[in-house]
Structure 1
């Protein structure tokens, strides 16, 4: 089954379609312009002939009224004139005009006089080539002046102009089509370069970028946008690779510990304290479970692209009370009513991670406060974090050597989950010096 013309057209290249469209539009415009030009030129030339003929007829009528006509009548532009009396006889004519047969009969003369406009007459029956423009004026004593002028020169000029346009218009269309083909091809060269550059980008060429044209046009903006996209993809890939590598490193230690404990227990079953072995394996298993939960939480945050799982009104003060009640070392100092939009479970996880971190490193107490402007603080009196490391600890798998090592806590994902979740809810999180200790400050937009 043959494809439709529209389907065939859509399969053609952009360069071909633009060239054909430009040529078609120009051809149509030139055809309309040529038609209008010939029509206007014809009308202008005919009007000029009519005015000249009317002027000659007017001069003859004045002479007829004054009785000064001579025969033959003399005209300077080849106008044919007949003066007809009230009985229909031709009394005066120009040289070469018929002295017996009027150009227009009485009825035709009366019609032209009534219209007041020139009429077109075939001159061949009167031994005159081509057509004539005829003017009729009424003179005194019942006389009628009939003036006619051939328009063969006008028709010849129009035919010549039409032939020139008929030949020149297609030539101009072809010339424009060739110029358009070349110009469009040159314009599309940056796009072809982008296509070739994109074809060369592979999963092994991480730092590959597309060529950016020097011209500040839409193609330049497209290339810049695509390079920004490649940079983001490269950054995401690097984060993913780093996450996989760090996760594999974190998984190695508890798995090695479980394997060692089981191999020792199986190698010396008689002298093994199975209760102690089970407790050790359980501890490492819980560590693996926490790591898996944290990795799953980060994966869900990345999958949502920085958007909360739900956007619904959340009474943040209720969430804070429920979480703080689970920690005996914590004290809720201020808890103003606050409503935010987001996911209650994610916000609960934020406070839980901050509380786990604070309880793990506090010396005696943990203070929690929630103010009406959406500021949540968790303060401990532990060793704190050096100022130069307070932003770095929010990175994934980041643990400080002093006071916050692996032996004292998790895999370094808790604060990373906090930052990503808070950002998804449109807020910010930072660490401040509590003198002594550390204060985690979360700022969330309040729902009005």
Structure 2
């Protein structure tokens, strides 16, 4: 029988996984509370240390001042016994032999507060020392200062620091009680503030949940504050607008494609039904030619749709970015057209995909040949400008931008029977834009001129 499998790594990761599964509000509040607790604890320790040091320094200054006053009288020989002090300071004056000569009232006259070794160490260091006052009938700890006077005399001044200890103890109690209460208040405030700050995000989440396939045009709520959440909401709304536009374009493309496919399919079906219904009087060669023509039309439409799908899939980026001799592409393409004449062809190198650029020129020349009256002229200049000119009926100025839309055909001289599905110029513009260029139409008087500008490689 197999026992349970021990997974120390999983156990070790359990707190981390638990933490990651908590809400953002909870984690931010805990982190803020932890930082505040550390800051308050550090502040409390620093406060107590500074308070202790300040109070002790105050006592040391008072002791030195009192001892200095006694030393002046000792040097002048004007000391009286007992020595009078007004702040409870205990003073002993010792002669060169270490015998106590003068003291304050109630102070031990037989045993010095500090022995000879301690007095020498205090004099050498020049700092105050602590000593236990209980052997001298003084409760608590004393702070003592030692000064040397003339004729080998020594002045020892001491004072109880019990009040300092009481003050520090009271401050500790206040911090021990007040710090947790303050921490709780700050944690509650952080919880409320963070919740209010995250409220716009909750509104965004709710708004996103309400956007379905039946409510695509809705937008996410944008908060009034000009903060990061505002920028996020604006960015997400822009993304929704782009997605909606792309979906509308896709739906329009599918609808237009279905409409374009219907005519050749209906024509093929009708020709075959008539031929099969009356086989004895049917010219099968004529029927085959008619079906082949419709099949070629379907093939061209499928190729155009595939080209547009690839352009959309690449997001406006050419399939390849490699040096292309555009003049060579122009010459090779025009070799297939007896109606087109190359009037100028300067050496030009661009970066992109040679097949896509060849398709651009093919579509333009096909359109020009289809609608020209007598001639088609193609020119390529050294600055990357490619022009295709025909002397046909042309296109009205108000329609020259509209013809670049997908499935757009003009009524005059560009009917369904004479032209294609209205995708040629759309493919041209999107391909040229993907290569960093632009395309527009001009009046050739008579006819039409298509101008393509491509950036020349360095």
CA offset at residue 163 of structure 1? Answer: 1.1
Give matches, 1:237-256, under 5 Å.
237-256=247-266
Q: Which residue of 2 aligns with 1:202?
A: 212
Indicate which of 135, 153, 159 corresponds to 1:149. 159
Q: Which residue of 2 aligns with 1:337?
A: 347
Give matches, 1:327-366, under 5 Å.
327-366=337-376
Task: Answer yes or no: is 1:99 the counterpart of 2:102.
Answer: no
For 1:62 and 1:31, locate their aligned partners in 2 and report how far apart those are by CA, in whole Å. Answer: 46
Q: Which residue of 2 aligns with 1:51?
A: 61
Report the number of matched residues. Answer: 448
Task: Answer yes or no: is 1:430 the counterpart of 2:403.
Answer: no
Task: Answer yes or no: is 1:63 the counterpart of 2:51.
Answer: no
Question: TM-score, with normalisation over the residues of structure 1?
Answer: 0.99
Give matches, 1:394-433, under 5 Å.
394-433=404-443
Task: Answer yes or no: is 1:170 the counterpart of 2:173.
Answer: no
For 2:384 and 2:120, locate their aligned partners in 1 and report how far apart those are by CA, in whole Å. Answer: 100
Tell me, what secondary structure is at the counterpart of 1:407?
A: coil
Task: Answer yes or no: is 1:439 the counterpart of 2:449.
Answer: yes
Q: Deviations over 1:259-309 (max 9, x none)?
A: 000000000010100000000000000000000000000000000000000
Q: Deviations over 1:230-255 (max 9, x none)?
A: 00000000000000000000000000
For 2:124 and 2:312, locate their aligned partners in 1 and report how far apart those are by CA, in whole Å. Answer: 91
Q: Which residue of 2 aligns with 1:300?
A: 310
Task: Answer yes or no: is 1:30 the counterpart of 2:40.
Answer: yes
For 2:62 and 2:14, locate their aligned partners in 1 and report how far apart those are by CA, in whole Å. Answer: 58
CA offset at residue 126 of structure 1? Answer: 1.4
For 1:275 and 1:125, locate their aligned partners in 2 and report how far apart those are by CA, in whole Å. Answer: 135
Question: TM-score, with normalisation over the residues of structure 2?
Answer: 0.97
Q: Deviations over 1:100-132 (max 9, x none)?
A: 111111121111111111111011121111111
Task: Answer yes or no: is 1:313 the counterpart of 2:330.
Answer: no
For 2:145 and 2:434, locate their aligned partners in 1 and report how far apart those are by CA, in whole Å. Answer: 90
Shifted more, 83-92 versus 16-25: the winner is: 83-92
CA offset at residue 411 of structure 1? Answer: 0.5
For 1:116 and 1:215, locate their aligned partners in 2 and report how far apart those are by CA, in whole Å. Answer: 63
Q: Deviations over 1:385-429 (max 9, x none)?
A: 011110001100000000011110110000010011000001111
CA offset at residue 327 of structure 1? Answer: 0.5
Give matches, 1:186-265, under 5 Å.
186-265=196-275
Q: Which residue of 2 aligns with 1:184?
A: 194
Tell me, what secondary structure is at the counterpart of 2:441?
A: strand
CA offset at residue 77 of structure 1? Answer: 1.0
For 1:279 and 1:368, locate their aligned partners in 2 and report how far apart those are by CA, in whole Å. Answer: 33
Shifted more, 288-297 versus 130-139: the winner is: 130-139
Q: Which residue of 2 aligns with 1:39?
A: 49
Task: Answer yes or no: is 1:133 the counterpart of 2:132.
Answer: no
For 1:81 and 1:224, locate their aligned partners in 2 and report how far apart those are by CA, in whole Å. Answer: 79
CA offset at residue 141 of structure 1? Answer: 2.2
CA offset at residue 206 of structure 1? Answer: 2.0
> Where does structure 2 lack aligned partners over 5 or more consecutive residues?
1-9
For 1:345 and 1:142, locate their aligned partners in 2 and report how far apart those are by CA, in whole Å. Answer: 111
Shifted more, 192-201 versus 6-15: the winner is: 6-15
For 2:182 and 2:243, locate their aligned partners in 1 and report how far apart those are by CA, in whole Å. Answer: 49
For 2:21 and 2:134, locate their aligned partners in 1 and report how far apart those are by CA, in whole Å. Answer: 59
Q: Which residue of 2 aligns with 1:268?
A: 278
Shifted more, 106-115 versus 171-180: the winner is: 106-115
Shifted more, 44-53 versus 106-115: the winner is: 106-115
Task: Answer yes or no: is 1:283 the counterpart of 2:293.
Answer: yes
CA offset at residue 46 of structure 1? Answer: 0.7
> Where does structure 1 lack aligned partners over 5 or more consecutive residues?
none
CA offset at residue 368 of structure 1? Answer: 0.3
Superposed CA RMSD in Å reads 0.9
For 1:81 and 1:143, locate their aligned partners in 2 and report how far apart those are by CA, in whole Å. Answer: 13
Task: Answer yes or no: is 1:13 the counterpart of 2:23.
Answer: yes
Tell me, what secondary structure is at the counterpart of 1:91?
A: strand
